[in-house]
A and B are shown apart, each in its own frame.
Chain A
Amino acid sequence: MGGPRILAYLFLALGSISMLVPFVWMLATSLMTPEQMFSLPPRLLPSPLAPENYSRAMQTVPLGRFFLNSLLVACLTTAGQMVTASMAAYAFARLRFPFKDGLFFLFLATMMIPPQVNVVPLFMLMSKLGWIDSYAALVVPGLFGAFGIFLLRQWFLGFPEELEQAATLDGCNIWQIYWKIALPTALPALATLGIFTFIATWNSFLWPLIVTNSEHMRTLPVGLAAFKGSFRETTDWGQLMAAGVISVLPALAVFLLGQKYFIRGLMAGSVKS
Chain B
Amino acid sequence: MLLPSLLGVGIFTLIPVLASFGLSFAQWNLLSPPKWVGLANYAALMSEPLFWKVLGNTFVYAFSVVLFEVPIALALAIALNQQGWVVKIFRTVFFLPVVTSMIAIALVWNWIYDPQYGLLNAALGAIGIKPIAWLFTTDWALPALIVMGIWKNVGYSMVIFLAGLQNIPDELYEAASLDGANPWQQFLNVTLPMVSPTLFFVTTMSTITAFQIFDSVYMMTQGGPENSTNVAVYWLYQNAFEFFQVGRASAMAYVLFAIILTLTLIQWSLRKKWVALES
The CA-CA distance from A266 to B20 in the complex, in Å, is 30
Task: Pick from A19, A38, A114: contact of B257, CB below 8 A.
Answer: A114
Task: Pick from B79, B219, B253: contact of A117, CB below 8 A.
Answer: B253
Q: Which of A9, A110, A220 is most buried by chain B, counting CB atoms within 10 A of its CB?
A: A110
Whether a CB of chain A sits under 8 angstroms from the CB of B191 is: no
Q: Are A224 and B104 within 8 A (Cβ)? A: yes
**Chain B residue at smallest Cβ distance from A39:** B117
Whether a CB of chain B sits under 8 angstroms from the CB of A157 is: no
Q: Are A202 and B101 within 8 A (Cβ)? A: yes
Q: A114-B260, A117-B253, A125-B16 are in contact. Are A144 and B94 (CB under 8 A)?
A: no
Q: A21-B119, A110-B14 are in contact. Are A221 and B103 (CB under 8 A)?
A: yes
Within 8 A of A (CB), among B85-144: 90, 92-97, 99-105, 107-112, 116-119, 122, 125
Q: Are B256 and A203 within 8 A (Cβ)? A: no
Q: Are A11 and B75 within 8 A (Cβ)? A: yes
Task: Pick from A22, A38, A88: contact of B109, CB below 8 A.
Answer: A22
Total count of chain B residues near the partner, CB < 8 A: 85
Q: Would you call the interface of chain A mostly helix, strand, loop, or mixed?
A: helix
Task: Pick from A88, A117, A228: contact of B4, CB below 8 A.
Answer: A88
Q: Are B257 and A92 within 8 A (Cβ)? A: no
Whether a CB of chain B sits under 8 angstroms from the CB of A166 is: no
Q: Are B100 and A120 within 8 A (Cβ)? A: no
Q: Are A270 and B163 within 8 A (Cβ)? A: yes
CB distance from A174 to the nearest CB of B (A): 7
B16: chain A residues at CB < 8 Å are 117-118, 121-122, 125
Q: Are A247 and B103 within 8 A (Cβ)? A: yes
B6: chain A residues at CB < 8 Å are 88, 103
Within 8 A of B (CB), among A224-273: 224-225, 228, 237, 240-241, 244, 247-248, 251-252, 255-256, 259, 262-263, 266-267, 270-271, 273
Q: Are B107 and A26 within 8 A (Cβ)? A: yes
Q: A23-B96, A221-B101, A270-B201 are in contact. Are A116 and B253 (CB under 8 A)?
A: yes
A97: chain B residues at CB < 8 Å are 2
Total A-B residue contacts, Cβ distance less than 8 Å: 236
The CA-CA distance from A18 to B90 in the complex, in Å, is 12
Q: A16-B94, A107-B9 are in contact. Are A88 and B2 (CB under 8 A)?
A: yes
Q: Are B94 and A19 within 8 A (Cβ)? A: yes
Q: Are B215 and A205 within 8 A (Cβ)? A: yes
Q: A16-B93, A42-B119, A252-B99 are in contact. Are A95 and B256 (CB under 8 A)?
A: no
Task: Pick from B75, B99, B107: contact of A251, CB below 8 A.
Answer: B99
CB distance from B275 to the nearest CB of A (A): 10
Whether a CB of chain B sits under 8 angstroms from the CB of A135 is: no
Task: Pick from A37, A121, A145, A270: contact of B160, CB below 8 A.
Answer: A270
Q: Are A19 and B76 within 8 A (Cβ)? A: no
One digit per residue, 1 when the CB lies within 8 angstroms of any chain B CB and 0 when it does not, for chain A 81-93 equals: 0011101101110
Task: Pick from A15, A175, A203, A228: contact of B100, CB below 8 A.
Answer: A203
Whether a CB of chain B sits under 8 angstroms from the CB of A113 is: yes
Whether a CB of chain A sits under 8 angstroms from the CB of B241 is: yes
Q: Are A20 and B93 within 8 A (Cβ)? A: yes
Task: Pick from A21, A112, A117, A122: contact of B12, CB below 8 A.
Answer: A122
**Shortest 3 CB-CB contacts between residues of A and residues of B:** A144-B8, A203-B101, A88-B5
Please name 9 pairs of A and B residues whose Cβ atoms are closer than 8 Å in the assembled complex, sorted by A: A15-B76, A42-B119, A88-B6, A107-B5, A113-B257, A120-B240, A225-B218, A228-B107, A252-B96
Interface residues of B (CB under 8 A from A): 1-2, 4-6, 8-9, 11-17, 19-20, 23, 30, 72, 75-76, 78-80, 90, 92-97, 99-105, 107-112, 116-119, 122, 125, 151, 155-156, 159-160, 163, 183, 198, 201, 205, 208, 211-212, 214-215, 218-219, 233, 236-237, 240-241, 246, 249-250, 253-254, 256-257, 260-261, 264, 267-268, 271
